Structure 1
Amino acid sequence: MIWLLIVIGMVLLGLFYDLHQKRKNFPPGPTPLPLLGNLIPLILSFPGYELMHKWRKEYGDIYTYWMGPFPIVTVNEINLVQQMFVQDGDNYTDRASFGKLTETYRGGNYGIVETNGQVWREQRRFTLHTLRDLGLGKERMQEQILDEAAYLLSELESECKAMGKAWPIKYTEKTVASVINLMLFGYRFDKERETEFYRVRKMLDAQNEELRNPILIAFIGMPRWITKRIPFINRKLELMYKVRDELFLFFGEKIKEHRDTIDYSSDEVNDFCDAYLLEMHKLRDDPTTSFNDKQFVNVCLDLWLAGLETTASTMAWGTALLLNYPEVVKKLHAEFDRVIGSDRMITMQDKNELHYLNAFVSEVQRWANIVPQNLLRKASKGAEAAGLLIKADTPICAQISVLMTDETVFPDPYCFRPDRFIDENGKLKSFKQFLPFSIGKRQCPGEGLARMELYLFFANLVHRFNITPIDPSTIPSLKRTMKNVVKPEAFPCILERRVVQKI
């Protein structure tokens, strides 16, 4: 009997800690369940935008909810976001992580996305400088993207002629991967090398399929000796580590190819890999440098995945939206006929005159909103915001998904309406709440590349083709589920060369 009372007492103490004690150091928010936190309501309302808005009304512009055992302090008002992450940005540059998983996966404090301190600053500074030198946002980069766009349009047209239909996602992912791989390693995934891309894509798809279940978050912060004894969790983590090893092997092979041929006496740089190897060589006797082989493969992982997943997914959702909104396609065609007036490729030089196209691309990014939960940061030191104390090391984020679905700024926020980005004079309209690449010092370093890719891809795809579904049953669904939150299910469509109407 006494042991039963002890067990009951321990359970009650655990519940008291979980439901009260651990929450007192954070801003108020919905009551979490033991171990699961607020995962259940988030899953039931997936992707959770409306629930987050409900919590904001109940608890204020800054509130705390729990992803499993992990607290997330979320900031949901644009002036507070700018105050905290821009004006006081130095206090919120460090990345918060889910327990020891990040360190275990990376092998330490490596990469750009999840590193902190001097390692993050040194790696980010070098990466941004090198990408600019390689033409990011310049004519050289536009030429490379236009070349890939031309290959893409040709492949889609050929498949449609041969099969009577085309599968855009299959080709857009390879196109985006070619752009980033060309920048990193100096080659694209042409017919001879496309099997490399499909090898990596298959691994990533398998990993994403296993890790999609949000219940996993409740366990990933536990010590490995515990998770190994939970078959459901262990199987998913083992697959994740296996995919990591395969990705590191892929990047390691490319680095070795460059290392075997590089001339360290030359300053000539053809791609990011060359630049990184030269920097490693230059700093080889510096004991404080963060440039080493482990860091290199982790930086490659960050750049390759960030450059592929978000842009390709946005392209996939945008193409699905075109099939669901034929009136939008007509408006785009009318603008192309009026401004371009020929079948030439559209370039960045046309951008300032293509207001509806720019509005369309912005609305695709806002509507797609492919990261429901923004990446976490943490406060370096204690601070006050909206009358609340944010203690040091508090996991915190600017909740971009809430800002971009704020109905006071974007009426009918879950409806797709490019015209919301057009002002009364027919010009492009801007919103402070439109932050698809995040905000502050952790803003996406590849923003310039992604913007250029999205603009040139959509411009030339819609300019070249009439895009129609095969029949009503093949119009892709726009409903979000845990299975397709990142990108829609693959879908076919008909692409026919259109006749440009000169106006």
Structure 2
Amino acid sequence: MIPLVNVAIANVINQLLFGFAHHDEKSKEEFKKWRELMQEHMRFGTDAGLTIALQCPEIFQYLPYFKDKLQLLKEQYRDVTKYCEDQIKAHEKMIGKNDGDYLDFTEAYLKEIAKTNENYTRKQLVNILYEMFIAGQETTANTTIYSMICVLNYPETQKKLQQELKTIIGSDRFITLADKPKLIYCQAFINEIQRLVNILAQNLLHKTTKDVEIMGYKIKAGTTIVPQISCVLYDEKIFPDPYKFEPERFIDENGQLKKIDELIPFSIGKRQCLGESLAKMNLFIFISNFYNHYQLGLADNKVPSMDKINGIAVQPKQFECTITKLY
């Protein structure tokens, strides 16, 4: 299941960024190899030695052990972004052949660079594409896969979700974003997956912009900090029985979607996740349409583990299940 979901999500991101999807076997195999590099890169992102080295790389790059960590990070980044570089080169050959509407993000960006706009550079484009893949593809694919693990551990949630989809949507059409306001349980279901799974458990490195004091601890401006989103998402005062998968916690007494400000899977503020809007859209479209047409079941009565493989974005462990077409 995991490879199939990865390709499905990647096709949406690829279509947006590069104007094509992975359909033929050769293309799928090339993407599979690239994604394995991406997964290894993201797992390495939480390496303890690397985390220390990134506090002050201008010094740690000369120290044994830490030097090797930083070098490996550079090599992984180079290998991962080669895919983006190859797509940019292919687009550069086509610039000028399409005078109509932009076909994808890369084409639009390259045309802005061609206008000699100093605010747009090729290096920036590579970094943006890299970040969009991490923000929009990795997190969305892993969250979608965890939705399957959750329903296999809590089968009653799949029944409730499919009952809502059957009653409100039916089986004769594709679910779109226009349907979202009507699908209350589906929205609560997705919110609870994001809360429980906590894809970016450690968040990314930030720095304080001014001197602050928290619970008696003084932190000077410019100090590197790592926000712990999990401390909020698993706070028992906000989310009772926090390690239980319970979509109903996001539905109020009137049956409407309950807004809980502490649901911050994409972080908060100006530095929150770049791909939040894209991820939310993809999650709703994929999850609603998948469960409206397919039923998941246990394979050999084995309940999959909800344990996580740590990384910049946590990854699910391999599992098997049965899939039955509903219509």
Q: CA deviation at 1:238?
A: 4.4
Deviations, residues 157-193 of structure 1 (Å, cap 9, x unaligned): xxxxxxxxxxx21111111111111111111111252
Which of 105, 120, 145 is 1:272 aligned to?
Answer: 105
Q: CA deviation at 1:465?
A: 1.2
SS in 1 for 2:94: coil
What is the 5 A alignment of 1:406-421? 406-421=235-250
Deviations, residues 246-287 of structure 1 (Å, cap 9, x unaligned): 223222221111111111894631111111111111125xxx
Map of 1:224 onto structure 2: 61
CA spacing shift, 1:439–1:208, aligned 2, 3 Å: closer
What is the 5 A alignment of 1:90-239? 168-191=1-24, 192-219=26-53, 221=57, 222-227=59-64, 230=65, 237-239=70-72
Answer whether contact 2:139 2:313 (CA < 8 A) is retained: no
Map of 1:311 onto structure 2: 140
Deviations, residues 393-436 of structure 1 (Å, cap 9, x unaligned): 13345532212111111101111101101111111111010111
Map of 1:364 onto structure 2: 193
CA spacing shift, 1:482–1:206, aligned 2, 3 Å: closer
Amino acid at match of 1:293: R
Rg larger in 1 or in 2? 1
Deviations, residues 281-319 of structure 1 (Å, cap 9, x unaligned): 1125xxxx2432222212221112222111111111111
CA spacing shift, 1:489–1:265, aligned 2, 3 Å: closer
Distance 2:239 2:304 in 1: 24
Distance 2:208 2:238 in 1: 28
Q: CA deviation at 1:203?
A: 1.3
Q: Give the RMSD, CA atoms, in angstroms.
A: 2.6
Q: CA deviation at 1:483?
A: 7.7
Answer whether contact 2:199 2:314 (CA < 8 A) is retained: yes
The unaligned stretches of length 5 or more in structure 2 are none
Q: CA deviation at 1:236?
A: 5.1
SS in 2 for 1:468: strand
SS in 2 for 1:491: coil
Q: Which has the higher contact order (CA 8 A, sep 6+)?
A: 1
Q: CA deviation at 1:365?
A: 0.4
Deviations, residues 428-459 of structure 1 (Å, cap 9, x unaligned): 11101011111111122322211111111111
Answer whether contact 1:213 1:482 (CA < 8 A) is retained: no
Q: CA deviation at 1:210?
A: 4.7
TM-score, length-normalised on structure 2? Answer: 0.89
Distance 1:494 1:172 in 2: 15
Distance 1:237 1:393 in 2: 21
Deviations, residues 103-124 of structure 1 (Å, cap 9, x unaligned): xxxxxxxxxxxxxxxxxxxxxx
Distance 1:452 1:256 in 2: 29
The unaligned stretches of length 5 or more in structure 1 are 1-167
Which of 123, 126, 144 is 1:297 aligned to?
Answer: 126
Answer whether contact 1:264 1:278 (CA < 8 A) is retained: no
SS in 1 for 2:145: helix
Distance 2:121 2:271 in 1: 23
The reply to whether residue 494 of structure 1 matches residue 327 of structure 2 is no
CA spacing shift, 1:397–1:214, aligned 2, 3 Å: closer
Q: CA deviation at 1:390?
A: 4.8
Distance 2:276 2:77 in 1: 25
Map of 1:17 onto structure 2: none
How many positions carry a matched residue from both structures? 323
Distance 1:414 1:434 in 2: 14
Q: CA deviation at 1:384?
A: 6.4
Deviations, residues 198-231 of structure 1 (Å, cap 9, x unaligned): 121121233345555434433454532323xx3x
